[in-house]
Amino acid sequence: MDDAIQAVGERLAQARHVVVVTGAGVSAESHIPTFRDTMHGLWAEFDAEKLATPEAFATDPETVTRWYDWRRLGCLHAEPNPGHLALAEIERRIGDLGGKLTLLTQNVDGLHLRAGSRRVAELHGSLHRWRCTKTGKETRPGPEAFETYPPPSPFAEDGMLRPSVVWFGEMLPEQALRAADEALWSCDLFLSVGTSSLVHPSAGWVHLASARGAVTVEVNPEETAITGEVDWALRGKSGEVMPRVLDAMLASL
Ligand code: BJW
């Protein structure tokens, strides 16, 4: 493991364009449950994959918006962890060296931005923006829970608010897809951090990066759908592994 971290650190120090794809595991050490672990306690009887759909919202908007508001409030109280902070610092250092790092996150919690990452594409939207079902206009709710579910829209009398996140079967934001496409064409190092790599399109990006000659790395305590595809699999929590990768990068400058 030490040798692998050393090798990845050296690659980072030489890279011109790094692409990092992150998932819910990056925020686990900020006490935000991973996506496939969210349904505990209060929510044990529900299935996250079913709630994250336009069909669920159409049939039961109260439950869906209540679940998302519960998650939104949890994220507001969370803080970025050493994994988020290391990724932001790696981006800064690579920038100082004349390269760039593009962070493509599937997370909707906003913690990468709060940690200081700058070149971020939020592939699955954000829990902190909600939009009117009638007008499409967006609003950022305050720190309190909504008073009623589904929340009424402030923009149209007969509208409701839904979270501006991407549900199964919905298209990813055009701007985020464009950023991902451009980055994947030109990256020489690709890291997949804290994601099960089950959800497309991002689950397939390791193949694109690899086909274009990038070195590929995974950081995860468990094996995932892409473990067999990557050049380096770093087993461990991102809050522990990423600071060590940063140290290895700095040591090899
Ligand atoms: C740690 C850790 C620690 C723990 N440190 N790690 C091609 C083939 C097949 C299907 C499709 C396809 N193209 C499109 C589809 C359909 C669908 C899809 O992918 N389905 C799959 C289930 C098969 N995709 C879509 O519908 C996408 N839209 C699209 O492609 O539009 C065009 C189109 C539509 C229809 C057909 C064809 C084309 C949209 C996907 C939107 C996903 N949205 C969600 C909900 C967002 C809002 C919300 O958060 O509620 O996004 S689903 C959910 O999964 C959420 C997550 O962002 C996403 C990924 O989950 P993630 O982050 O990997 O979390 P987990 O919980 O799965 O894993 C956590 C990992 O962390 C684990 O590995 C742990 O080990 C690890 N971990 N602690 C590091 N400390």
30 CB less than 6 Å from ligand 1?
Answer: no
Of the listed ranges 41-45, 138-142, 198-202, 223-227, the one predicted with least confidence: 41-45
We report the CATH number of the domain holding residue 147 as: 3.30.1600.10
- Residue 238 Cβ < 6 Å to ligand 1: yes
Cα 145 from Cα 73, distance rounded (Å): 7
Tokens linked to 112: 């990468």
Q: How close is the Cα of 46 to the center of ligand 1, in Å? A: 17
Task: Give the ligand 1 atom nearest the CA of 24.
Answer: 62
Pocket perturbation via mutation, ligand 1, pick of 31, 34, 224 by most ligand atoms within 8 A of CB: 34
How far out from the chain centre does Cα 45 lie?
25
Nearest CA to ligand 1 atom 68: 196
Q: Both 56 and 144 in a single domain? A: yes
d(CA 233, CA 36): 21
Which range has the worst mean pLDDT, 14-23, 42-51, 173-182, 190-199? 42-51
pLDDT at 144 (0 to 100): 98
**Residue 208, pLDDT above cutoff 80:** yes
Tokens at residue 189, please?
């190092």
The domain total for the chain is: 2
Catalytic residue status for 124: yes
- Given the residues 40, 124, 200, 207, select the one marked as catalytic: 124
**pLDDT, the chain, mean:** 96
Of the candidates 145, 165, 185, which is a domain's last residue? 165
The predicted pLDDT at position 99 comes to: 97
Q: Identify whether residues 229 and 160 lie together within a single domain.
A: no
pLDDT score of 44: 72
Distance CA 52, CA 167 (A): 5
Same domain as 187, residue 88: yes
pLDDT at 42: 64
**Residue 150 Cβ < 6 Å to ligand 1:** no
The domain of 85 spans: 2-32+80-124+172-252
Same domain, residue pair 102 and 14: yes
- What are 8-67's pLDDT values in tens digits? 999 999 999 999 999 999 999 999 999 888 777 667 778 888 999 999 999 999 999 999
- What is the pLDDT, as a whole number, of residue 37? 80
Check if 112 has its Cβ closer than 6 Å to any atom of ligand 1: no
Q: Is the CB of 116 under 6 A from ligand 1?
A: no
Residue 151 sits in the same domain as residue 235? no
Q: How many residues does the chain have?
A: 253
The DSSP letter of residue 226 is: T
